[in-house]
Homo-oligomer: A and B are copies of this chain.
């Protein structure tokens, strides 16, 4: 008698908290998806009633009196917030009551807590943050996006392995193509870390296709792009900045005169379809890969639609058995090394 796929949600995480998480949960819960709302019981119960979800099947509440602040130091959250909604949600994954958890709480605290509670997989030194980004070919899994700011070559190899398994599992690909993010300058091509990582990747059994420049993230035919968290985080945010700049310019141009406003009205459905394609909410939900459990980080500013997307990503990771697959790949890798 198996329970349905179960995901724990940190109700208090993010800039908004319950007013995003609870409606998102109600839009997703069903016979095949059970959601545990983790937070201060009274608050959660009241909000659940407010959104018409009281007594709804597939939704339960787990009490957690504390909240981790969005600017709270990870070390402090770890030490002082043992009963936070974030921590309790992760505990549910550890105990097996939940198959995954989703939090829009602060990244540093989530990573530190998840790492402390769940531990990393054997063979993984550091977890990485991975998300899918839109490309001209579909989408690409990029990691690390900010968990590690001083990665060594061997960490980049581990990221490549995890990204590759994720792309295989979620997108059903045999041998995902893996690129290593680098600068385009000749001769001094990249820093030492990247040069060494390139060698490790070339020697691995991954489908490593070589260096990729910044624009290649969005334009090259690749399924996985690997980089250190410092450059990954900055590139991702720079990309978001450009997308916002583009929206700003489009809006400005269409509001220039009565004529351009009219043109805007005519083009509105098309522009909306376009906006949907670059809508970051559709890509919300980053995996904290390398842990002994599935933890999905939602953007702090996520709305209901975006948070629901993060829940969907957690569900896909469970259904596609991402963690056992990474474990299997790591075991094979280690066995191979011992043989050598």
Contacts and interface: CB of A to CB of B under 8 A. Distances in A.
Given A231-B230, A239-B239, A242-B243, A186 B274 contact: no
A150 B192 contact: yes
Given A146-B184, A239-B238, A253-B274, A218 B190 contact: no
Contacts of A241: 214-219, 239
Given A191-B150, A263-B270, A214 B234 contact: yes
Contacts of A254: 267, 270
A240 B245 CA distance: 12
Copies of this chain in its oligomeric complex: 2
Given A230-B231, A245-B135, A238 B267 contact: no
Given A218-B245, A253-B270, A75 B187 contact: yes
Nearest to A239: B242
Nearest to A251: B274
Interface residues of A, number: 70
Nearest to A142: B238
Interface in A139-155: 146-147, 149-150
Nearest to A243: B242
A32 interface: no
A249 B266 contact: no
Interface of A: 71-75, 106-109, 134-136, 146-147, 149-150, 181-188, 190-192, 213-219, 227, 229-231, 233-246, 248-250, 253-254, 256, 260, 263-264, 266-267, 269-271, 273-274, 277-278
A218 B238 contact: yes
Given A218-B245, A234-B181, A187 B108 contact: yes
Contacts of A237: 184, 213-216
B231 A186 contact: no
